[in-house]
Chain A
Amino acid sequence: MSLSRREFIGIGSAAVAGMALSPGLRLVDLAQARSPDEAVTSLKRWGLLVDINKCNDCNACVTACHEENGVVGHDRPATDAQWIRKVTLKDKQTGYVQTLPVMCQHCEEPPCVDVCPTGASFKRADGIVLVDKHICIGCRYCMMACPYKARSFVHEDTTDQKPHAPRGKGTVESCTLCVHRVDAGKVPACVEACNKDGNKAMVFGDLKDRNSDISKHLASGSSTQLRPDLNLNTGVRYRGI
């Protein structure tokens, strides 16, 4: 195909105009970054980094999470919900022992969202994986699919619920990354507790912002995901495993 001079100039100027305008459009996007009453956008992706070299036997994150979200048990360990738990890892070869908190890993490609028949399991544009309690039918397929055992089924009546974290018998729930706090510009309860009463092992922030604390931490040292073989690109990362 050959272009006439006229066509070349036409296409060329359209391309130049496009290149000139696109950074402007990008700026418009940024200028439109979210205020609290606006919908979330994919300009951010919330994430968490846990340095398990600093994490020890303390349980501050777990207590704070369950306190914040009104996750109360009935002294029945098999059926009580746990949004976050401390897991002890022991190396099979060397016997080296470590401990780390495990919660919903807020995957970029969450298996729970894939399998949910009604779409009750969903991922917000900013990467937070949630359950819509209004359309969850309690089939527990998401619990079958989650590689991290991050989800709990509400096995009995709940009382004293927090307005920001409704819990309903017969539905599935999990860590919300304290979405109500994040939307208000605060950090999740586990992170706050870890920094206040714990060992300052957790960093929370926007993975897409290169200047955020979490991005700088991630850029300056090694980190890993749980079950990296599944390629889910989790929002929660660990250092020191």
Chain B
Amino acid sequence: MAHAHFNTMEGRGFGFYILLAILGGFILAGGLAALYMEHNGHWVTGMSNQIVWGTPHVFAVFLIVAASGALNVASIASVFGRQLYKPLARLSGLLAIALLTGGLIVLVLDLGRPDRLIEAMTYYNFKSIFAWNIFLYIGFFAVVAVYLWMMMERRMNDYTKPAGIFAFLWRLTLTTGTGSIFGFLVARDAYDTAVIAPMFIIMSFAYGLAIFMIVLLAAMRWTERELGNVVFERLRSLLGVFVAAVLYFVTIYHLTNLYITQRHGIEGFILLHGGVYTKMFWIGQIFLGSVVPLIILFSRLGKSRAMVVLASLLIVLGGLAQMYVTIIGGQAYPMPLVTGKEASSSFFDGVVASYVPSLPEAILGIGGIALALAMVVVALKILPFLPNSLSDADADPHFKATPAKSETAAA
């Protein structure tokens, strides 16, 4: 392949401004929702002293996990030297930064005291995984920004590979940190297991690539650039492999819990009789979020780009369902106080905690997604993130057997 050519998008058309206006509307609504919750206090949300993390955390953790996963396409190019992915690397880095911003904004705006963010930046308890994550998240912005710079500044191109390796290691650590927020919680039966960290990493692969696919297909189409079948097919089968790998980890997680008698309660709750959580697990996470996308991606249906976009959207929805089951389902199931005894009290001991997401919580979460997408749209207009063409002839190193190939063959 010759050097890929990148260009900003024109972004003067009616569609561009309509898109920005719609995203802006969601961002504004998200901001107002946060203001409303902050002004009144959290009692106006569905959250309580039983379910302390609610819908905003579902969106925030999903976006943070997806952010690190979105960087994988760039990693495949820089770390594993796959030429085919090279033209996609810039968009991958951009998406990673945008999704992390969206997720963190949601997380911060749901704090009881977001005005005290400076405390979180100045007082650290280094035994807290949250404190590590503050460094990992802020560092991620810097690491990916430098990585993008190496990729986009011709004179710095030689440093792309080391920057890419560093970013890859950083993102693995970051998602380990995100997963360990739950993995290291000893109190609750749904958490407290080391498998959550690797499971979150593999989930990030799937969610990040699904969002990348949607954004790539939309951006190439709306800017009238060609996306050939070679790139498309490669990404499609990769997405399928990631979804299957998530299913494997989910199976291992539940099998482990099913083997431990002490954890039969939480397993029965999630898998059998947990009401909305059971439905969300089987219908949302497993059927719509995993099985249907797998069928689409690995069958003839996957030849259709519309179907692959549908599969990607389902993976995103399934991911949100998975977060809902993990975060809210994990809290709803009561903690044991004394082994062998049923507890009850006016503080909801021993009962399944009820939680109904409130509208402002959901709007805040959606606002985070809108912010991430708006960042991508604006960035694509300002800087050359998007390749001019991903046609088979441009993208596939084996497509043209010409001397032009030798230039990049070294990597």
A, B: real partners: yes
- A169 and B112 contact, Cβ closer than 8 Å, known pairs A89-B337, A92-B342: yes
Q: Is the CB of B346 within 8 A of A82?
A: yes
A window 86-140: CB within 8 A of B: 86-93, 98, 102, 111, 113-120, 134-140
Whether A71 sits at the interface, judged by CB under 8 Å, is no
Closest 9 CB pairs of A and B: A138-B112, A170-B112, A117-B130, A147-B187, A156-B41, A78-B48, A155-B43, A119-B125, A140-B52
A61 to chain B, nearest CB (A): 13
Q: Is the CB of B340 within 8 A of A114?
A: no
Whether B35 sits at the interface, judged by CB under 8 Å, is no
A143 partner residues in chain B, CB cutoff 8 A: 49, 52
A216 partner residues in chain B, CB cutoff 8 A: none
- C-beta contact mask, A175-216 vs B, less than 8 Å → 1, else 0? 000000000000000000000000000000000000000000
Q: Which of A81, A92, A137 has the most CB of B within 10 A?
A: A137
B window 345-387: CB within 8 A of A: 345-349, 354
Residue of A with least CB distance to B112: A138
B339 partner residues in chain A, CB cutoff 8 A: 229
Whether A172 sits at the interface, judged by CB under 8 Å, is yes
B127 partner residues in chain A, CB cutoff 8 A: 113-115
A147 to chain B, nearest CB (A): 4
Q: Is the CB of A79 within 8 A of B49?
A: yes
A151 partner residues in chain B, CB cutoff 8 A: 49
Q: Is the CB of A137 within 8 A of B43?
A: no
Q: Is the CB of A102 within 8 A of B337?
A: yes
Whether A146 sits at the interface, judged by CB under 8 Å, is yes
Q: Is the CB of B134 within 8 A of A117?
A: yes
A41 to chain B, nearest CB (A): 22
Task: Count chain A residues whose beta carbon lies closer than 8 angstroms to a beta carbon of B.
Answer: 60
Whether A77 sits at the interface, judged by CB under 8 Å, is yes
**Inter-chain contact total with CB atoms closer than 8 Å:** 173
- A135 and B41 contact, Cβ closer than 8 Å, known pairs A89-B343, A90-B342, A91-B340: no
B181 partner residues in chain A, CB cutoff 8 A: 141
Q: Which residues in A have some Cβ–Cβ distance to B below 8 Å? A: 74, 76-82, 85-93, 98, 102, 111, 113-120, 134-141, 143-149, 151-157, 168-172, 226-227, 229-230, 241
Q: Is the CB of A171 within 8 A of B113?
A: yes
B47 to chain A, nearest CB (A): 8
Q: Is the CB of B340 within 8 A of A157?
A: no
Q: Is the CB of A156 within 8 A of B186?
A: no
Whether B331 sits at the interface, judged by CB under 8 Å, is yes
- With beta carbons under 8 angstroms apart, the residue of A93, A117, A153 that contacts B52 is A153
Whether B154 sits at the interface, judged by CB under 8 Å, is no
A117 partner residues in chain B, CB cutoff 8 A: 120, 124-125, 128, 130-131, 134
Given A78-B354, A87-B344, 8 other A-B residues pairs in contact with their CB atoms under 8 A? A79-B43, A82-B49, A85-B349, A89-B338, A89-B341, A119-B124, A119-B125, A170-B42
- A88 and B128 contact, Cβ closer than 8 Å, known pairs A137-B112, A169-B41: no
Residue of B with least CB distance to A121: B125
Q: Measured between alpha carbons, how far is A139 from B184 in the docked complex, in Å?
A: 16
Q: Measured between alpha carbons, how far is A127 from B2 in the docked complex, in Å?
A: 67
Q: Measured between alpha carbons, how far is A144 from B54 in the docked complex, in Å?
A: 12
Chain B: interface size category: 35 or more
Q: Is the CB of B345 within 8 A of A87?
A: yes
Q: Is the CB of B187 within 8 A of A145?
A: yes
Whether B14 sits at the interface, judged by CB under 8 Å, is no
Q: Is the CB of A88 within 8 A of B53?
A: no
B41 partner residues in chain A, CB cutoff 8 A: 154-157, 169-170
A141 to chain B, nearest CB (A): 6
B188 partner residues in chain A, CB cutoff 8 A: 144
Whether B129 sits at the interface, judged by CB under 8 Å, is yes
- With beta carbons under 8 angstroms apart, the residue of B49, B119, B341 that contacts A81 is B49
Q: Is the CB of B341 within 8 A of A90?
A: yes
Whether B123 sits at the interface, judged by CB under 8 Å, is yes
Q: Is the CB of A78 within 8 A of B348?
A: yes
Residue of B with least CB distance to A238: B338
Q: Is the CB of B49 within 8 A of A136?
A: no
B108 to chain A, nearest CB (A): 9
B134 partner residues in chain A, CB cutoff 8 A: 117
Q: Measured between alpha carbons, how far is A172 from B50 in the docked complex, in Å?
A: 13
Whether B40 sits at the interface, judged by CB under 8 Å, is yes
Q: Is the CB of B128 within 8 A of A86?
A: no
A120 partner residues in chain B, CB cutoff 8 A: 119, 123
A170 partner residues in chain B, CB cutoff 8 A: 38, 41-42, 111-113
A-B contact pairs, 15 of them (CB 8 A): A74-B43, A76-B43, A90-B341, A117-B124, A135-B116, A136-B116, A137-B116, A139-B130, A140-B112, A141-B128, A144-B52, A144-B331, A146-B187, A147-B186, A171-B112
